[in-house]
């Protein structure tokens, strides 16, 4: 399990290296979710690793190669969905093996340390945010538990959508809209009219966040 987690982090880091050269994009998210700090965390972790220019170039090359393979696979209409997913899994496995070989042992250890620290920080932030919401909206323990369950289920569904390469961009957008609509209905079933009003007012008072480029 630890090896799989480390592999996933390495792949994410490779994507982040590529991302520094393009503009930040806004993604569709349910309105009640706060922006996940994971992306910033990956950039911070990369800074700590002190990647050489050669390593950055190799990550970029590997990432571009995987993108190309995935794009070609997506265009292949002559295979079944099951075959497509199996091929995707094979491409990802090969990509992980190649990217792991780029990092030194010390860098892998540092990456694992950053992952552990980042997870602990995120969990602490989530608890603080949930406690604040519970206080501001006057949630009961039952409501708070339902909200936590609802958030976890939504996060799982959104992740599944992002990872489902069999969907076209338009299909994914439509499913995201469906999830957001479903989320609204779920919130109505959990919160009272007064609590919903307070939540809406709270969103209106939030300052707009500016998109920033993260550089290494």
- Say what the pLDDT of residue 14 is: 54
**Is the pTM value of this prediction over 0.75?**
no
The 3-state DSSP class for residue 163 equals helix
Q: Give the distance from CA 131 to its chain's centroid.
A: 23
Candidates 56, 65, 50; CA nearest to 16 is: 56
> How is residue 150 written in tokens?
């609802």
Per-residue pLDDT of the chain (216 residues), as tens digits, is: 545 544 555 555 555 554 444 444 433 333 334 444 445 555 666 677 888 999 999 989 999 999 999 989 888 888 888 888 888 889 999 998 888 899 999 988 888 888 888 889 888 988 888 888 888 888 899 998 898 898 889 889 988 888 777 777 788 889 999 999 998 898 889 999 898 888 888 776 555 554 444 333
Q: Is the dihedral of CA 22, 24, 28, 33 positive or negative?
A: positive
Sequential DSSP letters for 78-120:
TS-HHHHHHHHHHHHHHHHHHHHTTS-HHHHHHHHHHHHHHHH
């Amino acid at each position: 399990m630890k090896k799989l987690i480390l592999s996933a982090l390495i792949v994410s880091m490779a994507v982040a290296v590529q991302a520094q050269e393009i503009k930040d994009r806004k993604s569709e998210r349910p309105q009640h979710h706060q922006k996940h700090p994971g992306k910033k965390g990956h950039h911070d972790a990369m800074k700590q690793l002190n990647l050489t220019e050669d390593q950055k170039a190799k990550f970029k090359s590997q990432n571009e190669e995987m993108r190309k393979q995935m794009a070609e696979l997506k265009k292949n209409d002559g295979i079944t969905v099951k075959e497509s997913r199996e091929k995707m899994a094979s491409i990802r496995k090969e990509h992980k093996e190649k990217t792991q070989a780029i990092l030194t042992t010390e860098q892998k250890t540092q990456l694992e340390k950053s992952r552990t620290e980042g997870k602990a920080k995120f969990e602490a932030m989530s608890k603080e945010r949930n406690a604040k919401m519970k206080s501001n909206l006057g949630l009961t323990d039952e409501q708070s538990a339902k909200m936590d369950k609802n958030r976890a289920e939504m996060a799982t569904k959104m992740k599944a959508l992002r990872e489902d390469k069999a969907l076209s961009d338009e299909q994914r957008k439509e499913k995201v809209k469906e999830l957001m609509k479903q989320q609204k209905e779920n919130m109505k079933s959990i919160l009272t009219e007064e609590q919903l009003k307070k939540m809406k007012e709270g969103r209106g008072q939030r300052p707009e966040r500016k998109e920033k480029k993260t550089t290494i």
